[in-house]
Structure 1
Amino acid sequence: MLTLHDIRVWDTGERIDLVIPGTDSRRFFDEPGAVSEGAFDASTLTVAPGFADPHVHFRDPGQTYKESMRSGCAAAASGGYTRVLIMPNTLPAMDGKPVRAGAPGADDVLAAQARDTIDYLQHYDATHDGMLPVRYDLCVCASVDRAGGEASDPKDWQDQLPGVNDDSKDPYQRAHPVTAISDDGAAVPDAILDQVLANAQATGLYLIEHCEHHDSGIINEGPVSHKLGVPGIPEDTELRIVTRDIEAARRTGVHIHFQHVSTAGSFEAIRAAKSEGLPITCETAPHYLALNDEAIFKYGVMAKMNPPLRSEADRRATVAAIADGTVDLIATDHAPHAQSEKEAGLEQAPNGIIGLECAYGVCHRVLVDGGYISDRRLIELMSTAPEHLMGHTPTDIAGLLNTTARCATKRTLDLTAVEHPETVDLVILDTSRHWTVDKNRFHSKARNTPFDGWQVTGMPLATVIGSQLVFSRIGA
């Protein structure tokens, strides 16, 4: 039993005692010195609904040398996340097609006796001997094999949707449903966009759009690319997809969610679309808030991503879009790569960085310490807003307390006594903790981050899923 005395509730400010029951050891990822039992003065800490990230890449199946479901989920729990949405660029891709022997990554799926990649991931707990320390949903491919040539067929994956034949599903299928559609890594091509939108409309999914397309280029087009003598990626590669898809949302009424928006022009277009009441939402990522394209001089390939880091003016516009509410949520785009791949040089190295384990600290430093938003608003951007996007209900701490009798002293939220403990997901935060990002202490397999050595504030100390402690730094 872990008791946290005098902890602050994130949205009401009420001081309570929080009691967390014993830990299921199969789900516990700790740090040296961390504890799961005892009583602690938590007067400097905050309890909030667990973080959620609708944009992660766990490379399982097919590239588990970069990240596995187990290491990716451990990284998520370490970062305070209780739910993630896994993107479909697995090997084989998550398009619902039966896996063919000999295809890249097929061995992982077939060894688990799974029909396809969705089946493999839905039953990962059952076939890999143990529950994972984070909840996860799945995102199906917009096109077959994410190749962009033919829209995926809902007949191949609609049985894995939430609410479809739920009575006949096993608990693993119900726990990890398909809740979105995307070809993340590439925008949906013009030729199949209408069919993809029709599929989304027919199945009730929303389209997650990689809102950027280019056929050449390494980093942002501008003084930095010119100085380095490398091909640049113009800013309008993003705006063209954003404006195209806004018109598609206007035409069809399908909810389109734009990933990792990074330019001032795109934010202006999204603001205008929202003012019309169109079904548009968007996210940005910590690196677009904290870095500009000049970071390539300091961090090299660790600052190479897609979309690329943009100009300082665009970075400021991204922060402003957070401050004025244009951005609905913050997602990490956690993209693990092996060190050897990132060392291939600027032109050959793959795009992307990892982010789950330092996202809160980096965002807190830039946004809260910078005076742009409050602690409460940052929690909304990383917790309640992404949960709502994915169709889930974040834990209502104040609502749970309303079942507790109010007395002269502070109230106690005892997770052993709540009516539905399996639904309670929490993160314990030290919003003022100063700490140094150390990639070598990450639980991810990967180390590709530009934030190694950064001084940040705000640290997730513990993660609770289904009222069970699955990660703790308390006492460490």
Structure 2
Amino acid sequence: MTLTLHDIKVWNTGEVIDLIVPSDADKTVDASAMTIAPGFEDPHVHFRDPGQTYKESMVSGCAAAASGGYTNVLIMPNTVPAMDGVKVTAGEPGASEVLDAGFDTVIDYLQHYEQAHDVTLPVRYDLCVCASKGRAGKEATDVADWIGYLPEHDDDNKDAYQLAHPVTAISDDGSAVTPEILDPVFDNVKESGLYLIEHCEHHDTGAVNEGPVSRELGVPGIPEDTELKIVERDIEMARKTGVHVHFQHVSTAISFDAIRKAKAEGLPITCETAPHYVALCDEALLKYGTLAKMNPPLRSEEDRKATIAAVADGTVDLLATDHAPHTMEEKELGFLDAPNGIIGLECAYGVCHKILVDGGFISDERLIELMSTAPAELMGHDKTDLTAVLDEYADAVPGDDDTKRVLDLGKVPADDNVDLVVLNTNEEWTVDPERFHSSARNTPFGGWQVTGRPLATIIGSKLAFSRIDKED
């Protein structure tokens, strides 16, 4: 059984090919409006498993990722218990999920999740270890507690699950690394060879961006320099130590200016922003309420425009969703008490395409780079080289006017790790959270008219998700 796509366009060359994909159904589809590209990757997701599976689980989170065209994600460490490599203690929140599955650390549990739950997850995933023990910010984690989970450490004693889901980064995401442990954390990063993912924002008070909107709402504000202070601090640490720092969800003009200067200096700095920071400003709080509450907060319209400019000029290295599931009951608690964050995996491409490509700021090809090849480079993944795959495996079929190549993925060895996304770059569709595969619904983008949609996700040359010829 196969899915045969006729006249599909290759994203970076414009070549038109036929693509045959192993699937459960036998279909032939006119794909002349579609584009094939390396699968999307997201180095910033929260799947709430273990400890908060009433919000999301590995199963629902990975289903959401596959629906959004993602083939690889990086799981953030704010699980419950935290992903710090320390053995969990019976009786602490979330511990029973780990212990009942037969494991004693969250890392080991997540590496063996498919084995423990007898499921096959539709996307690949890496893990991010905590910078501080318990993510409490008081004491840096011990390298000895987690170095054994790194991919290159003692490979002979790792099973296939551990090799497939290694620890590849370090972060206290949700919080910036605290000043009291900054030096030992950077020492740990340097010793381990990981890269530091930094939540570049810290505030002790406030709930939304400080400005006219916060005053209209009567809600304490968060000044924009709370982000800049962390950015400047860590740029100086990168200069001092040579450690690669990746800044998450950058949202202000002043932070982008600092990052531009650091990059011009040749420092090992990269950064991301998220779809909501290019699509929304703090005025969205007046319309969407706490569905638009996040951390860092949505900033001013001037900052939104500066974020788009930073994407357009290359200051932003990649786009990440910061997929953060919460229940609607939690989101209805009001601005002071509602948790921060929105879900984003299933509409990220459409929102970014609408704002950035339809807006004339970047090309279709550049958006794919920002969501696919650039995050893969950050995470150290070998990205699917479509040109090489075609040269190796595609057969030439003479036609009336020219020669078309046919790529039958059923003939490609699974260990070649061919991960792809099929896109309709022009499809107009309406975001409907009720049809999401995520367990959560907390998004301000419900009802938005967007363009560009992932139609199929291919992992290891096999169809992992498809909405081709489906109503979804």
TM-score tier, shorter chain, comes to over 0.9
**Within 1, Cα distance between the matches of 2:219 and 2:66?**
38
**Which structure's relative contact order is higher, taking Cα pairs within 8 Å and 6+ residues apart?**
1
**How far 1:37 sits from its partner (Å)?**
2.6
Q: Which amino acid aligns with 2:21?
A: I
**How far 1:405 sits from its partner (Å)?**
5.1
**Within 1, Cα distance between the matches of 2:245 and 2:406?**
41
Say how many residue pairs are matched: 464
**How far 1:293 sits from its partner (Å)?**
0.3
Structure 1 residues 53 and 95: alpha-carbon distance in aligned structure 2, compared to 1, 3 A threshold: same
**How far 1:418 sits from its partner (Å)?**
2.3
1:250-269, CA deviations, whole angstroms, 9 ceiling, x for partnerless residues?
00000000000000000000
1:213-268, CA deviations, whole angstroms, 9 ceiling, x for partnerless residues?
00000100001111111110000000000000000000000000000000000000
**How far 1:420 sits from its partner (Å)?**
4.9
Q: How does 1:91-170 map to 2 (within 5 A)?
A: 91-170=80-159
**Within 1, Cα distance between the matches of 2:458 and 2:395?**
24
**How far 1:421 sits from its partner (Å)?**
5.2
Q: How does 1:174-189 map to 2 (within 5 A)?
A: 174-189=163-178
| Identity within the alignment, % | 70
Are positions 1:448 and 2:442 aligned together?
yes
1:425 aligned residue (411, 419, 423) = 419
Residue 404 of structure 2 aligns to a residue in which SS?
coil
C-alpha contact (below 8 Å) 2:5/2:31 kept by paired residues? yes
Q: Which amino acid aligns with 1:442?
A: F
Are positions 1:221 and 2:210 aligned together?
yes
Partner of 1:321: 310
2:456 aligned residue (457, 462, 465) = 462
**Within 2, Cα distance between the matches of 1:418 and 1:63?**
39
**Within 2, Cα distance between the matches of 1:22 and 1:335?**
31
Are positions 1:194 and 2:183 aligned together?
yes
Partner of 2:20: 19
Q: Which amino acid aligns with 2:209?
A: N
C-alpha contact (below 8 Å) 2:353/2:367 kept by paired residues? yes
C-alpha contact (below 8 Å) 1:63/1:91 kept by paired residues? yes
**Within 2, Cα distance between the matches of 1:109 and 1:20?**
37
C-alpha contact (below 8 Å) 1:21/1:469 kept by paired residues? yes
1:320-352, CA deviations, whole angstroms, 9 ceiling, x for partnerless residues?
000000000000000000111001111110000
1:254-298, CA deviations, whole angstroms, 9 ceiling, x for partnerless residues?
000000000000000000000011000000000000000000000
Partner of 1:391: 380
**How far 1:353 sits from its partner (Å)?**
0.3
Residue 186 of structure 1 aligns to a residue in which SS?
coil
Q: Which amino acid aligns with 1:131?
A: T
1:194-224, CA deviations, whole angstroms, 9 ceiling, x for partnerless residues?
1101101111100000000000001000011
Residue 410 of structure 1 aligns to a residue in which SS?
strand
**How far 1:419 sits from its partner (Å)?**
4.4
**How far 1:115 sits from its partner (Å)?**
1.2
Residue 402 of structure 1 aligns to a residue in which SS?
helix
**Within 1, Cα distance between the matches of 2:275 and 2:173?**
18
Partner of 1:89: 78
**How far 1:417 sits from its partner (Å)?**
1.7
**Within 2, Cα distance between the matches of 1:471 and 1:320?**
33
C-alpha contact (below 8 Å) 1:62/1:105 kept by paired residues? yes
Q: Which amino acid aligns with 1:457?
A: T
C-alpha contact (below 8 Å) 1:421/1:467 kept by paired residues? no
C-alpha contact (below 8 Å) 2:414/2:461 kept by paired residues? no
TM-score by length of 1: 0.96
C-alpha contact (below 8 Å) 2:64/2:436 kept by paired residues? yes
**Within 1, Cα distance between the matches of 2:460 and 2:416?**
4
Q: Which runs of 5+ in 2 are unaligned?
A: none
Partner of 1:5: 6
C-alpha contact (below 8 Å) 2:133/2:140 kept by paired residues? yes
TM-score by length of 2: 0.97
Q: Which runs of 5+ in 1 are unaligned?
A: 24-35
**Within 1, Cα distance between the matches of 2:183 and 2:64?**
37
**Within 2, Cα distance between the matches of 1:113 and 1:248?**
40
Are positions 1:473 and 2:467 aligned together?
yes
Q: Which amino acid aligns with 2:342?
A: I
Instruction: State which drifts further: 37-46 or 283-292.
Output: 37-46
Q: Which amino acid aligns with 1:56?
A: V
Residue 216 of structure 1 aligns to a residue in which SS?
coil
**Within 2, Cα distance between the matches of 1:422 and 1:474?**
25
